[in-house]
Chains A and B, each alone.
Chain A
Amino acid sequence: QQQVKQSPQSLIVQKGGISIINCAYENTAFDYFPWYQQFPGKGPALLIAIRPDVSEKKEGRFTISFNKSAKQFSLHIMDSQPGDSATYFCAASTDKLIFGTGTRLQVFP
């Protein structure tokens, strides 16, 4: 019940395309849903986050869509760029921050 399931494991997108990463959870007590971005050899860095009282949050090219009834949330990267190539982790928290297993995104020119 504490797990956050993330898919796909890897994603290849052409420059300018839309990247979509999905996550699902079971614990309805989760009240904060961040996405972290990690480049090789670096620690994860917060990209964008949402709380369950809103269904969507947009920051630049990055959008979180949140479906509380389905217990699912997703990250959309519009106009994907080669510089977006990284591993993306969804996460959820109550008193602990639980990370998904990660999605390796590769954006080709």
Chain B
Amino acid sequence: EAGVVQSPRYKIIEKKQPVAFWCNPISGHNTLYWYLQNLGQGPELLIRYENEEAVDDSQLPKDRFSAERLKGVDSTLKIQPAELGDSAVYLCASSASGGFNGELFFGEGSRLTVL
């Protein structure tokens, strides 16, 4: 069974440019998460989807970040415009259960470098 797939794996852009990350969760997983992982830190939740609905986006910087999960499967996370401080790894995860009392399956992440 395929795991969580993310692309691109690496992206280098100049500040003020837009960038988008794509995530395909494990088949059948209704819950999808985007996490931010800064160097040497633990992942921090940006947004959680239950099917198509964003049920927790309280930590998403909405002035420059947006996300969507059309049809309740794939998801896209966008940053526009990117800032130097956005350099980090963006992790996508999915789970079968709706709550946080179950296993999260993470993708390999998309590493963003903003110059």
The interface of chain A, by Cβ under 8 A from chain B, is: 6, 31-32, 34, 41-46, 49, 89, 91, 93-97, 99-102
Contacts and interface: CB of A to CB of B under 8 A. Distances in A.
Secondary structure at the B interface, as helix, strand, loop or mixed, is: loop
Given A99-B44, A102-B40, A42 B100 contact: no
- Which of B4, B93, B104, B105 gathers most chain A CB within 10 Å? B104
Contact of A95 (B42, B99, B107): B99
A43 B100 contact: no
Interface of B: 4, 40-45, 56, 91, 93, 99-101, 103-109
A68 to B, nearest CB: 17
Contact of A96 (B42, B56, B105, B106): B56
A96 B45 contact: yes
Contact of B106 (A43, A49, A93, A101): A43
Nearest to B3: A43
Contacts, number: 50
Closest 7 CB pairs of A and B: A43-B106, A99-B42, A93-B100, A32-B101, A97-B100, A46-B103, A89-B42
Contacts of A46: 103-104
Contacts of B93: 43
A100 B37 CA distance: 12
22 contacts: A31-B101, A34-B103, A42-B108, A43-B106, A43-B107, A43-B108, A43-B109, A44-B43, A44-B106, A46-B104, A89-B43, A93-B99, A93-B100, A95-B100, A96-B45, A97-B104, A99-B42, A99-B44, A100-B42, A101-B41, A102-B40, A102-B42
